[in-house]
Copies of this chain bind each other. A is one copy, B any other.
Amino acid sequence: MLQLTKRTDYGLIALTHLAGHSGVRSVRSIADLYPIPRRLLAEVLKDLLHSHLVESHRGAQGGYTLARPPGEIMLSEIVEALEGAPSLTSCEGSHTENSCAVEAVCPIRSPIHVLRQGIWRMLEQTALSDLAGWPELARIPSFR
């Protein structure tokens, strides 16, 4: 539906929060701050961990921190971590031989590719810090 999933949405929020608040932040604290389902946010952060976008700190007083400076984390990485590389249509992406029946005579395949790359490039050129820099962020009270 040409729309980001809530998982990605939540992931962006969490990462933006981490970018704006130094130190370790637990899932609980983030999920309480923004009313996000706690368990779901935990799943999301686990995915981000597996993609090496955040680092985890287990045990009491544990939580997550950004693995890199927010200026070096691109939205494309985040989206890819949480919902796979964008394909725009079904005939793209490494869906392991997901070939569409139309493919052979498809008149729109090439041009759609171009569009997809345009969107992808936008995500590649936007860093987490570009989101985190928004004024709204500064107004959010810090907890813990």
Interface residues in A, total, Cβ within 8 A? 49
Q: Which residues of B contact A109 (CB under 8 A)?
A: 136
Number of copies: 2
Interface presence of A59 (CB below 8 A): no
| Residue in A33, A75, A89 with the greatest tally of chain B CB atoms within 10 Å | A89
Q: Is the C-beta of A36 less than 8 angstroms from some C-beta in chain B?
A: yes
The answer to whether B107 touches A137 (Cβ under 8 A) is yes
Give the complex CA separation of A24 and B109 in angstroms: 24
Q: Interface residues, chain A, CB within 8 Å of chain B?
A: 1-6, 9, 12-13, 16-17, 20, 33-36, 75, 79, 83-84, 86-90, 101-102, 105-112, 115, 118-119, 122-123, 126, 130-132, 134-137, 140
